């Protein structure tokens, strides 16, 4: 088979992103006979599933093209959108191919959704991954290790392979490579944002959620190679912005395109954060389960869903802003997202201290009108280009 063109690669990524019925997962299951287990944002240790022969499948709700028929009957108007689209996809059979779903502890809405899922889909594996908020090895670390062992046992009970340390080491290596490739993409975008427009990079990151890690790494490699080789990609006079707040419910692709068309180069973001939640490589020597635990405790992104114990709120955001040469910050959170919106005043304060300009708006995954955001982002980008000292 010949190598794909960039257009073909993006077409494929777009197809995977748009396929609510998870056709690629169904094909994988038919081919391998393995289990496929979904996970909600923003982080689960996919290495563990992979090591037991399970395909981890990242779910991130719906988009603006998903008609919510049943999901709205489960949620009041003041609750974010992702649980209703997830329920919709569950009830309309789109997620039938999944043997289970993991709910990491990120907020009360996802937490309560885990209980609903238990009742709505009693034949499926449902596990609430109670990520610790204490990051000491003997406290939160021990609890987390026990939780991972419990999850592993549940997978085995469903027919997955037993957890084997050697298999887990191999899986960690594969995911290390995968994360390295994502870091390289982000590095490249920071250096030459015109080479990797965010609306493309985003599609690739989303597509990777439903692929086996080996295929997802190949996708990242191919995308970088093809994008770098494209002679038509030239720098524009855009404002370099860091976008934050979009780690769970995702904005419609149209909103990302709108921001770029409004004059913003998104040089850093927290979209599809599972790819970058663990920042560096996870050790492969020694006890691999312990290494997974340590990585979560010691090397995870400073997400809004994570208690900042000794650290300073916003410190990591400012570091990322410096590293990416950010000229302004876009606070771009889903409506009614507690973690993002409760964090925002503290992050704004940090950004203000740094003297960075910022603007804020909200969206929903099914937002269809971007005119107001376009005007706001356009004005923001213009003001940076015209007046900012950043």
Residues that bind another protein (CB under 8 A): 73-76, 78-79, 83, 103, 105-109, 111-116, 118-119, 127-128, 130, 132-134, 136, 138-140, 142-143, 146-147, 150, 304, 307-309, 313, 335-339, 341-346, 348-349, 362
Least Cβ distance, residue 309 to another protein (angstroms): 7
Cα(240)–Cα(130) distance, integer angstroms: 36
Least Cβ distance, residue 105 to another protein (angstroms): 7
Taking each helix axis as running N to C, give the angle between helix 82-91 and helix 108-120, from 0 to 180 degrees, rounded to the nearest 10.
Answer: 10
Longest dimension (CA), the chain: 61
Cα(239)–Cα(67) distance, integer angstroms: 35
β partners of residue 360:
331
Output 131 or 172, the one with its CB closest to another protein: 131
318 touches 350 (CB < 8 A): yes
Residue 330 three-state SS: strand
Output 147 or 200, the one with its CB closest to another protein: 147
Least Cβ distance, residue 175 to another protein (angstroms): 25
Least Cβ distance, residue 386 to another protein (angstroms): 25
Cα(39)–Cα(60) distance, integer angstroms: 9
Q: Would you say the C-alpha torsion 151, 274, 183, 253 has a positive or negative sign?
A: positive
Least Cβ distance, residue 334 to another protein (angstroms): 9
Least Cβ distance, residue 346 to another protein (angstroms): 6
Output 3 or 119, the one with its CB closest to another protein: 119
Least Cβ distance, residue 210 to another protein (angstroms): 25
CA atoms within 13 A on the CB side of 219: 29
Output 108 or 225, the one with its CB closest to another protein: 108
- The one-character DSSP state at 334 is E
- 283 C-beta neighbours (distance < 10 Å), count: 17
Output 30 or 157, the one with its CB closest to another protein: 157
Cα(386)–Cα(328) distance, integer angstroms: 13
Output 109 or 182, the one with its CB closest to another protein: 109
Output 36 or 341, the one with its CB closest to another protein: 341
Q: Would you say the C-alpha torsion 248, 181, 27, 154 has a positive or negative sign?
A: negative
């Amino acid at each position: 088979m010949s190598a794909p063109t960039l257009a073909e690669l993006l077409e494929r990524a777009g197809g995977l992103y748009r396929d609510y019925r998870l056709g690629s997962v169904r094909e994988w299951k038919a081919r391998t006979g393995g289990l496929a287990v979904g996970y909600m944002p923003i982080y689960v240790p996919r290495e563990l599933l992979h090591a037991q022969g399970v395909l981890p499948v990242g779910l991130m709700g719906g988009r603006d093209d998903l008609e919510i028929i049943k999901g709205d009957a489960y949620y009041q108007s003041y609750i974010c959108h992702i649980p209703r689209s997830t329920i919709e996809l569950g009830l309309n059979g789109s997620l039938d191919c999944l043997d289970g779903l993991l709910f990491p502890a990120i907020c009360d809405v996802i937490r309560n959704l885990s209980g609903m899922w238990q009742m709505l889909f009693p034949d499926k594996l449902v596990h609430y991954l109670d990520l610790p908020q204490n990051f000491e090895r003997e406290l939160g670390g021990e609890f987390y290790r026990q939780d991972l062992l419990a999850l592993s046992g549940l997978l085995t009970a469903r027919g997955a392979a037993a957890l084997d340390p050697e298999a887990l080491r191999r899986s960690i290596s594969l995911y290390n490579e995968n994360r390295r490739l994502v870091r390289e993409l982000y590095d490249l975008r920071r250096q030459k944002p015109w080479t990797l427009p965010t609306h493309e990079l985003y599609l690739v990151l989303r597509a990777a959620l439903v692929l086996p890690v080996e295929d997802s790494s190949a996708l990242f490699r191919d995308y970088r190679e093809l994008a770098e080789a494209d002679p038509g990609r030239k720098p524009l006079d855009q404002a370099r912005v860091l976008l934050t707040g979009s780690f769970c419910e995702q904005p419609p692709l149209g909103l990302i395109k709108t921001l770029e068309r409004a004059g913003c180069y998104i040089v850093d973001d927290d979209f599809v954060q599972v790819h970058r939640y663990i920042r560096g490589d996870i050790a492969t020597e020694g006890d691999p389960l312990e290494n997974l635990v340590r990585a979560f405790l010691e090397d995870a992104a400073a997400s809004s869903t994570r208690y900042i114990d000794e650290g300073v709120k916003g410190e990591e955001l400012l570091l990322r802003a410096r590293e990416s040469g950010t000229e302004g910050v876009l606070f771009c959170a889903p409506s009614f997202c507690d973690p993002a919106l409760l964090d925002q005043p503290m992050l704004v304060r940090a950004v203000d201290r740094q003297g960075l300009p910022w603007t804020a708006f909200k969206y929903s995954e099914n937002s269809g009108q971007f005119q107001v955001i376009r005007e706001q982002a356009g004005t923001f980008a213009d003001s940076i280009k015209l007046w900012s000292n950043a």
